[in-house]
Amino acid sequence: MSGTFIFVLASSVAQILVARMVGVENMGIVKVAIIFENYSAFLSFGLGFGLSRQLPLMLGRGESDSARELLNTVWQWFNLVRV
């Protein structure tokens, strides 16, 4: 069995269990929350990749204050968009 098959099977079982637990009338709300959570990952705008490149460069140049400011800015943005 491949990992994809196991994932699809587990997801299907989980969806059935969630549907039974929340009821048909509330399933739309659950689906909207799932869609919002999935698309909110795009709000990072690649800042994590940029940070993983820039932070070591700044630290290597001895710009620890600038590196800390960059890290804090990205951290605040991630916290803002993931709430």
Locate the domains of the chain by residue range: 1-34, 45-83
Residue 59's pLDDT is: 92
Q: Residue 10 and residue 53: Cα distance in Å, rounded?
A: 36
**pTM, rounded to two decimals:** 0.51
For the chain, what is the largest distance between any 2 Cα atoms, rounded to a whole number of angstroms?
Answer: 58
Question: 10: which 2 tokens?
Answer: 């587990």
Residue 39's pLDDT is: 80
C-beta separation of 49 from 79 below 8 A:
no
Question: 69: which 2 tokens?
Answer: 């400011």
The one-letter code for the residue type at 40 is S
Residue 1's pLDDT is: 60
Q: Residue 15 and residue 27: Cα distance in Å, rounded?
A: 10
**Mean pLDDT for each consecutive 10-residue tract of the chain (83 residues)?**
84 87 84 82 82 92 93 89 70
